[in-house]
């Protein structure tokens, strides 16, 4: 090898060493836990050539640029949010009677109060969900906001595309936002057809017109939101793809839940969409912000967005608060079970104080590492009275929480670290006994299609499986 080439390689190694030390110092200052700080700093110092690229992608805790944008109070979006909160929300703020559960913590996390006079409707599985969404789009008069983590160019994707193009031709304004990584298979021709019809389309990325960082690849916008004319919102677990209609030959039946929400709380979903839209475009299109009262008022609803731009770990705190609030039961349904120690401890404490703690998970796996990691967490739940059920008929993808008899949550957040800290999510919370009763009946049906798991089946797993599960758990912060 030529001496000059050796010199170049030596220089590269020296630069990587220096950058490794710098990154290690940054990790010490910014890591969320002492264990994380130690792990990152030691690995960056000892093997910077390997670990520096990994740290640049997976090491960041906050979504930079977006955080700064939130702190700039003069931004048009911030002014708009303040106007909505001060001018419109007080008139529809929900009232709670003495003796009812105090939900002020949830309101502080959402930066918005519960509103009354809403009407939410459960949409069970894909056919009901997309029949409702497409009907809502067809009825739009002014505008439609569409946001999904995944949009595919298949039968369902093309049905959505055709519906949006039809409304655009009728003069309705359409804004479409999809996650660039989640929808990485979406062909440019699909987007081009929307743009040609006059529809505004953006892909959510780590950078936005000079803001953010190019290496923010580990963050995802996992929200699924459709808003029609500011008065109706659709939020839940479904993305846009034929598998969400149960047409995946491997996973088969796809069990998922969405909500159709009419009323003032729909503005909370609209605000969440606009914050993401503003991040990518630096524009705030004219929208309807005056609350529309539901035809059958009464439901108290809160739209709670969360994500890596929050000062707090909002999604983790949401789950922790729901678990701590429970006095009779806490039923949690999620496709993934990779929580952190705070949530595990909250579940253990709830079971120890006599709460009926149940977790429903899918029998089938769509992500092998997440599937393996969950077994290590079962060892920390099953022995303490926490009951875990495995859904049998197909793949379970819904994200639903039921607390006692009067609080239910439906949204996009999973019971895992990715939703807690790395994903932008949104959850609709219903402080309404009738709606909670409907959720309880729905979940009771789901539980009837489950088998209850036990420690015996975990203990009987072969040693290679147990080792693989432990290794998968090491990756839990980024799964």
Of the residues 103, 258, 374, 397, which is catalytic? 397
Of the residues 224, 238, 253, 258, which is catalytic? 224
The Cβ of residue 88 has, within 10 Å, a number of other Cβ atoms equal to 15
238 assigned to active site: no
Question: How far apart, in whole angstroms, are the C-alpha atoms of residue 96 and residue 431?
Answer: 9
Tokens of 244: 């969400």
β pairing state of 407-411 and 423-430: antiparallel
446 assigned to active site: no
258 assigned to active site: no
Q: Which residues pair with 408 in a beta bridge?
A: 402, 430
Burial of 36 (0-12, 13-18, 19+ CB in 10 A): middle
Tokens of 213: 């960082």
175 assigned to active site: no
Of the residues 125, 256, 404, 416, which is catalytic? 404
Of the residues 256, 399, 416, 432, which is catalytic? 399
397 assigned to active site: yes
| Catalytic machinery residues | 222, 224, 229, 397, 399, 404
């Amino acid at each position: 090898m030529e001496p000059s080439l050796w010199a170049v390689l030596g220089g590269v190694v020296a630069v990587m060493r220096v950058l490794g030390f710098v990154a290690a110092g940054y990790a010490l200052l910014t890591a969320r836990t002492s264990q994380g700080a130690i792990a990152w700093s030691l690995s960056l110092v000892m093997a910077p050539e390997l670990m520096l690229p990994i740290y640049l992608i997976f090491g960041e805790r906050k979504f930079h640029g977006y955080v700064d944008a939130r702190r700039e109070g003069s931004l048009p979006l911030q002014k708009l949010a303040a106007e909505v909160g001060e001018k419109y929300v007080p008139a529809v703020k929900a009232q709670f009677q003495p003796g009812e559960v105090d939900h002020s913590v949830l309101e502080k996390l959402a930066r918005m109060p519960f509103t009354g006079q809403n009407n939410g409707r459960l949409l069970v599985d894909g056919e009901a969900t997309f029949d409702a969404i497409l009907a809502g789009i067809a009825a739009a008069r002014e505008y439609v906001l569409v946001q999904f983590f995944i949009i595919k160019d298949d039968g369902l994707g093309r049905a959505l595309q055709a519906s949006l193009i039809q409304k655009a031709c009728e003069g309705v304004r359409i804004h479409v936002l999809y996650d660039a990584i989640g929808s990485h298979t979406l062909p440019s021709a699909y987007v081009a057809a929307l743009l040609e019809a006059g529809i505004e389309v953006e892909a959510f990325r780590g950078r936005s017109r000079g803001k953010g960082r190019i290496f923010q690849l580990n963050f995802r916008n996992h929200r699924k939101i459709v808003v029609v004319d500011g008065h109706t919102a659709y939020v839940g677990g479904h993305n846009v793809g034929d598998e969400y209609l149960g047409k995946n030959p491997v996973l088969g039946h796809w069990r998922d839940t969405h909500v159709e929400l009419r009323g003032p709380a729909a503005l909370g979903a609209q605000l969440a969409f606009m914050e993401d839209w503003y991040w990518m475009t630096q524009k705030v299109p004219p929208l309807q912000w005056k609350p529309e009262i539901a035809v059958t008022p009464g439901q108290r609803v809160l739209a709670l967005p969360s994500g890596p731009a929050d000062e707090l770990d909002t999604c983790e705190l949401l789950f922790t608060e729901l678990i701590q609030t429970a006095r009779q039961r806490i039923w949690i349904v999620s496709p993934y079970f990779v929580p952190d120690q705070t949530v595990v401890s909250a579940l253990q404490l709830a079971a120890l104080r006599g709460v009926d703690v149940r977790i429903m998970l899918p029998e089938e796996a769509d992500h092998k590492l997440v599937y393996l990691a969950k077994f290590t967490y079962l060892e920390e739940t099953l022995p303490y009275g926490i009951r875990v059920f495995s859904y049998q008929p197909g793949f379970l993808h819904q994200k639903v929480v039921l607390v006692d008899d009067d609080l239910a949550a439906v949204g996009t957040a999973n019971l895992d670290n990715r939703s807690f800290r790395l994903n932008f999510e949104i959850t609709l919370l219903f402080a309404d006994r009738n709606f909670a009763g409907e959720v309880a009946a729905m979940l009771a049906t789901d539980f009837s299609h489950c088998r209850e798991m036990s420690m015996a089946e975990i203990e009987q797993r072969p040693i290679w499986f147990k080792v693989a599960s432990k290794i998968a758990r090491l990756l839990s912060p980024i799964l």
